[in-house]
Amino acid sequence: MVLKYDNYMEEMIRFVIFNNLSEVEDRVSSLDGLCFYFANNIKADLEMLEIPVEMYNIDKGYDHYYLIADNEYLIDPTYSQFLKANEISIVFEDFPANILKKDERGKVILNDLLENGYHKLEKGDMNIYLSSFKVKERHK
């Protein structure tokens, strides 16, 4: 049976994410603050498989790195750090995951990121994802 290119790419993305997470799973209690580490490693692994991938930073006064593979897969296996209160949550107006939960597409994106570490993008999904990172306004 011949796999479609899309299915192959998605399987490779899933495999690379799983491998990277499983390498550190036993040594860390949470993924908080490890977004650059995972984005960098996953990017290198996908590039070795000749899957085009770019790394981005939300860069809204807070660093959080994510990947876009083949212009159609959002990869962010550390999004779980935005589910609960922690030291970084004071930067945001609301927990980013709470913002995603307010929108039906956002719920799909959140579920995919939490379960798989990636989400296959549809029109408007990147705007929904990025809008979850609402940084508090700083008063002078």
Calculate the alpha carbon distances from 56 to 96, 106, 117, 135 in Å: 17, 20, 16, 17
Convert the pLDDT of each residue in 62-78 to its tens digit: 788 999 999 999 999 98
Nearest 5°: phi and psi at 120?
-80, 120
Domain enclosing residue 75, as ranges: 5-131
Is 138 a domain residue? no
pLDDT tens digits, one per residue of 92-134: 667 788 888 898 999 999 999 999 999 999 999 999 998 888 7
Residue carrying structure tokens 């913002």: 99
Q: In this structure, is residue 23 part of a structural domain?
A: yes
- 80 is a domain residue: yes
Residue 88 corresponds to which amino acid? I
For the chain, the domain total comes to 1
Report d(CA 53, CA 104) in Å as an integer: 27
H-type helices in 3-65, by residue range? 5-24, 35-48
Is residue 25 pLDDT above 80, yes or no?
no
Give this prediction's pTM. Answer: 0.84
Does residue 140 sit within a domain? Answer: no
